Amino acid sequence: MKIGILNTGNVGSRLARAWAAAGHQLKLAKDGEDRKIAPLLDELASEATLGTIKEAAEYGDALLFSVYWPRANSVIEAAGKALAGKVVIETMNPLGVTDDFVHFHDHAFMRESSTAEYLQERLPDAKVVKAFNLLAAPALESDAWSSSASKPSIFYATDHHDAGQVVRRLIEDAGFTPVNAGPLKAARQLEQLGVLLHHVAENEYGGDADLLKLGVSVVEAIPGPIMRERIV
């Protein structure tokens, strides 16, 4: 399908590469300087072209909205009405930033909302789907999990069933297992889970940088008869 990448950054570049390999056609837009994605455009010359945020929004039947949260409003404004009626996959985590450029989890915002709900409110005619917010970008590379026992699940949440089905396929095309987390409001828990992963990286692994090693997976047990017994 035709996919517009609204911001080809750390996350967007990995998914662009994966979706190009799966046979999709892409228009890549950078929030910032286009020259930073020149090597990727060379690499994906047969599958991808460069566009502005607006051009990529117009091009895609599905859009990846993977934007640094403090820049979200600017990108929404640049995309204009082009996102109406389209599947918009958003990957953001609500990281606040201080005047000194220190990033922090915006717990006050997270209590009442999520980046996904905010985007849906700003884009009422789009079909917003939360996904891909829990894996550090390098872990989206296809060979990152080659020697691991399991691959991380990719959770998605949306109020639009048809958009959810499209995103399931795109998650599979990127090499992961889709897991339906429910309506868009579940994005709140997915964003909170990102905070938990940061804590785990900090405390159980060697520090914040070790977030790169972590993925969350749903594991299905096969219950035998004994597990069905109840103590009454």
Question: By beta-carbon distance, which residue lies closest to ligand NAP?
Answer: 9
Sign of CA dihedral 125, 112, 156, 31: positive
Tell the smallest beta-carbon distance from residue 65 to ligand NAP (Å). Answer: 9
Residue 2 near residue 59 (C-beta atoms within 8 A): yes
Of the two residues 38 and 162, which places its CB atom closer to ligand NAP in the complex?
Answer: 38
CA-wise closest residue to 164 among 180, 188, 187: 180
Tell the smallest beta-carbon distance from residue 81 to ligand NAP (Å). Answer: 23
Of the two residues 137 and 200, which places its CB atom closer to ligand NAP in the complex?
Answer: 137
Of the two residues 12 and 152, which places its CB atom closer to ligand NAP in the complex?
Answer: 12
Of the two residues 22 and 195, which places its CB atom closer to ligand NAP in the complex?
Answer: 195
Tell the smallest beta-carbon distance from residue 222 to ligand NAP (Å). Answer: 32
Residue type, 56: A
Of the two residues 46 and 98, which places its CB atom closer to ligand NAP in the complex?
Answer: 98
Of the two residues 36 and 169, which places its CB atom closer to ligand NAP in the complex?
Answer: 36
77-94 residues labelled b (16+ CB within 10 A) or e (exposed): ebbeebbeebbbbbbbbb
Tell the smallest beta-carbon distance from residue 96 to ligand NAP (Å). Answer: 11
Tell the smallest beta-carbon distance from residue 71 to ligand NAP (Å). Answer: 5
Tell the smallest beta-carbon distance from residue 190 to ligand NAP (Å). Answer: 10
Of the two residues 102 and 232, which places its CB atom closer to ligand NAP in the complex?
Answer: 102
Residues that bind ligand NAP (CB under 6 A): 7, 9-12, 31-32, 36, 66-69, 71, 91-93, 95, 101, 133, 136-137
Residue 83 near residue 122 (C-beta atoms within 8 A): no
Tell the smallest beta-carbon distance from residue 154 to ligand NAP (Å). Answer: 11
